[in-house]
Amino acid sequence: MAEIEIKNVAKNFGAYEALSDINLTIADQEFMVLLGASGCGKSTLLRIIAGLETASSGEVWIGGKRIDHLAPKDRGIAMVFQNYAVFPHLTVFENIGFGLRMKKLPNEVVRQRVEKVAELMHIEMLLSRYSGELSGGQRQRVAVARALAMEPDVILMDEPLSNLDALLRMEMRAELKGVLAESKTTAIYVTHDQVEAMSMADRISVMHQGKIIQADTPIQVYRNPSAKFVASFIGNPPMNFLPASRSGTKWSVAGAKFTGPETKIDILEFAVRPEDLKSADNGICATVKIVEPLGAHLLVTCTVEGHLFRVVMDSDTSLKTGQIITLAPQANRIRWFDPETALAL
Amino acid sequence: MSETSSNNGARPVGSGAKLVYVSSVVLLCAWVIVPIYFLLINTLSSPETVNSFPKSFFPEFDFGSLHFFAEFSGMITALKNSITVALLTMTMSILIGAPAGYALSRFDFVGKNLFRLLILLTRAFPLPLLALPLAVMFIQTGLDDTTFGLSLVHTTLAIPFSVLITFSLFSGIPLELEEAAWTLGCTRLSAFRKVVLPLILPGITASAIFAFVISWNEVFAAAVLTIENRTLTAFLLQNLGTSPLHLKFAGGFILVMPALIFIFAVRKYLFAMWGIANR
Ligand SMILES: Nc1ncnc2c1ncn2[C@@H]1O[C@H](COP(=O)(O)OP(=O)(O)OP(=O)(O)O)[C@@H](O)[C@H]1O
Ligand SMILES: [Mg+2]
């Protein structure tokens, strides 16, 4: 049982507040992905859980035990470092087996486990090499293999696949997910890659400037972002926003009328995903600026009353720059945000 | 260097520059090698040849001078003392200097920069200024005229170097490697032993040898603080006026050799240490 609880954790580097008020519970065997822009504090949070950094305040619990006073080796974790940290004086074999040797396991067990994870990470032919003789991606896989070989309760991975080519990454993604599910490991996985986050996560925590904005299932984060930041961060291209003003019982958005939420506020922000729009006879009028064929779709960048507005359309649609199109959003996919608090309504 | 200049198509300028380059290299080498060569010739010649004129340019491989050197009363003791003091200095300066270097590179503490400055400042006081009060203190504590007492002084001289050298060596090893070891079941100490030490050992050796050479070459403190237990440098200095020429040559040669061999052995690390890329 390795449930992770992070209670009111904050971290300051001098005057700089790298993390503030982090509260997060990760269930046993859950696969939690931390997603956020560069510098938002993902690595710092992982390092606090690993015990490599001390939190300025707050508590970390693993499996019902408070562990923030324990040394890293006593926390039952393994970590994949963002910069790999593969030992240069040891062979790949000894690198992967390092933690097992520390546990004083018999040679035969060490060999079996090393070979197993090496095969999993497709580095079985590199076992006798030194890290200086590996490519970046190979080194990264050694780092992952080294953490997996520990068979820990909790595995912390800081962008473990960032240096692999798209194909290999897709393959590793699936294998990693499979192994961790099979070994019943609780995982925290940091990534920049939204596709990776969506496809692997049980839940995604979206971080922004040292805070967790939303922690929910991938589909919830995508469909029902709790804040404007999440809506504009998740999705490629992200959500479109337009100002909306009260007009009788309805809301007026760029000339079109929509049914909105009941609220005291008079100005709202209307949001819709680019793929939830269709050309229609009446709706939002948009001027086409750029047309980008992406193979499967057409990404159309327009302006609506001076606001940027993106639409994903069928690739057969023929459009010209300057053309005016009318777009109707799918009613159940419209979201509303309070412009003051930037939170969803 | 020469390749890039010849690739520019500026042949005449290139070869002129090359001439200057080559001749200055030759000159610099001669500057260092010629005296050492003469030292070698005279050491490996019989006492008669050394004292005669004209000099030969080739050694006759006669061990008379060296033999005389070995026989000279007190010389072997002085040599032993030198080695003892140098070894003690080497050990102590690493035992004290390496942990200090590690602390400087790995921990943030108040007054860290001041501490680094202070370490360098120990070299700011000329030894003659300190030697007299030191001698008095040593006599009071009974450390005077002992190899241990002298090696204490030499350690003080060598520590700034060993601290700064090991500091830069430790700084060159990413902290993440240690952190990885910690998460893989190591304590601070075992991570140091299993990860940092193997990576740093060659550098530590270099800095140890550096300390050895500093102690080996030091003459002032040795001359002031010892009387019976003189080191080789102090002993030769004492007998400089009275001893015959071939003894001086042999002594000089014995003094120069270890330093030369050691520096040659660790040149790679010295270059790395001083930021000169030699590859
Ligand atoms: N030791 C430190 N001293 C001062 N500031 C630090 C330190 N470590 C991290 N920071 C700052 O804390 C913030 C969060 O850093 P962190 O490494 O957690 O970012 P990250 O989310 O992992 O970014 P990336 O995706 O680029 O790896 C950054 O602004 C960084 O500059
Ligand atoms: Mg990071």
Indicate the length of chain A as a whole number: 345
B276, pLDDT greater than 50: no
Nearest residue (by CA) to ligand 1, atom 18, is: A41
Instruction: Render pLDDT for A290-313 as a digit per residue (tens, 0 to 9).
Output: 999 988 889 999 999 999 999 999
How near does any CA of chain B get to the CA of A78, in Å? 6
What is the arithmetic mean of pLDDT over A253-264? Answer: 87
> How distant is the alpha carbon of residue A216 from its chain centre?
11
- The structural domains of chain A, ordered by start, are 4-226 (3.40.50.300), 240-337 (2.40.50.140)
* Facing residue for A88 by CB, picked from B187, B194, B199: B199
Calculate what percentage of chain A has a pLDDT beyond 70: 100
Residue A311 and residue A240: Cα distance in Å, rounded? Answer: 9
B177, pLDDT greater than 70: yes
CB B55 within 8 A of CB B41: yes
pLDDT at B264: 79
* Facing residue for A85 by CB, picked from B179, B185, B198: B179
Which residues have any ligand 1 atom within 6 Å of their CB? A 13, 16, 18, 36, 38-44, 82
Instruction: Render pLDDT for B100-119 as a digit per residue (tens, 0 to 9).
Output: 888 888 888 888 888 888 88
- Cα–ligand 2 centroid distance for A93 (angstroms): 27
Q: Which residue of A has its CA nearest to B188?
A: A71
Residue A106 and residue B60: Cα distance in Å, rounded? Answer: 63
CB A61 within 8 A of CB A27: no
Minimum mean pLDDT range among A281-285, B2-6, B61-65, B192-196: B2-6
Q: For residue A20, which ligand has an atom nearest its CA?
A: 1
Whether residue A243 has a cis bond before it, omega within 30° of 0: no
Task: Give A18's pLDDT tier (boundaries 50, 70, 90).
Answer: very high
The residues that bridge with B149 in the sheet, in sequence order, are: none
CB B255 within 8 A of CB B277: no
In terms of Cα–Cα distance, which of B202, B244, B259, B205 is closest to B82? B259
B273, pLDDT greater than 70: no
Q: For residue A39, which ligand has an atom nearest its CA?
A: 1
- Cα–ligand 2 centroid distance for B274 (angstroms): 33
Tokens of A226: 């709790």
- Cα–ligand 1 centroid distance for A307 (angstroms): 33
Mean pLDDT of chain B: 81
pLDDT at A100: 95
B270, pLDDT greater than 70: no
Q: Which chain A residues are closer than 8 Å to B187 by Cβ?
A: 71, 73
* Facing residue for B174 by CB, picked from A73, A79, A85: A85
A209, pLDDT greater than 90: yes
Tokens of A27: 């269930």
Residue B110 and residue A43: Cα distance in Å, rounded? Answer: 26
Q: Which residue of B has its CA nearest to A79?
A: B183
Q: Which chain A residues are closer than 8 Å to B185 by Cβ?
A: 73, 99, 102-103, 150
Instruction: Render pLDDT for B138-169 as a digit per residue (tens, 0 to 9).
Output: 888 888 888 888 898 889 888 888 888 888 88
Q: How many other CB atoms sit within 10 Å of the CB of residue A271? A: 22
Tokens of B214: 């500093």
CB A93 within 8 A of CB A128: yes
A145, pLDDT greater than 90: yes
- Classify B66-277 by CATH class: mainly alpha
Instruction: Render pLDDT for A210-235 as a digit per residue (tens, 0 to 9).
Output: 999 999 999 999 999 999 999 999 99
Select, from the ranges A154-158, A311-315, B15-19, the one with the highest average predicted confidence (pLDDT). A154-158
Tokens of B41: 């010739």
* Facing residue for B186 by CB, picked from A73, A81, A88: A73
CB A163 within 8 A of CB A136: yes
Query: Helix H segments across chain A?
Result: 42-50, 92-102, 107-120, 136-149, 166-182, 194-200, 218-223, 228-233
Fill in the DSSP letter of residue A71: -
Residue A28 and residue A153: Cα distance in Å, rounded? Answer: 9
Q: How many other CB atoms sit within 10 Å of the CB of residue A282? A: 11
Tokens of B229: 């237990």
Task: Give B9's pLDDT tier (boundaries 50, 70, 90).
Answer: very low
pLDDT at A51: 94
B249, pLDDT greater than 90: no
Q: Which chain A residues are closer than 8 Å to B183 by Cβ?
A: 50-52, 72-73, 77-79
Q: Is A217 helix (H, G, I), strand (E, B) or coil?
A: coil
Task: Give A107's pLDDT tier (boundaries 50, 70, 90).
Answer: very high
Strands across the sheet with A211-216, in order?
A: A77-80, A154-158, A186-191, A31-36, A203-208, A211-216
Q: Which chain B residues are closer than 8 Å to A85 by Cβ?
A: 174, 176-177, 179-180
The residues that bridge with A187 in the sheet, in sequence order, are: A31, A155
CATH 1.10.3720.10 maps onto chain B at 66-277
Task: Give B13's pLDDT tier (boundaries 50, 70, 90).
Answer: low
Strands A186-191 and A31-36: parallel
Tokens of A34: 């931390």
How near does any CA of chain B get to the CA of A85, in Å? 5
The helix (H) or strand (E) run that includes residue A110 is helix A107-120
Task: Give B278's pLDDT tier (boundaries 50, 70, 90).
Answer: very low
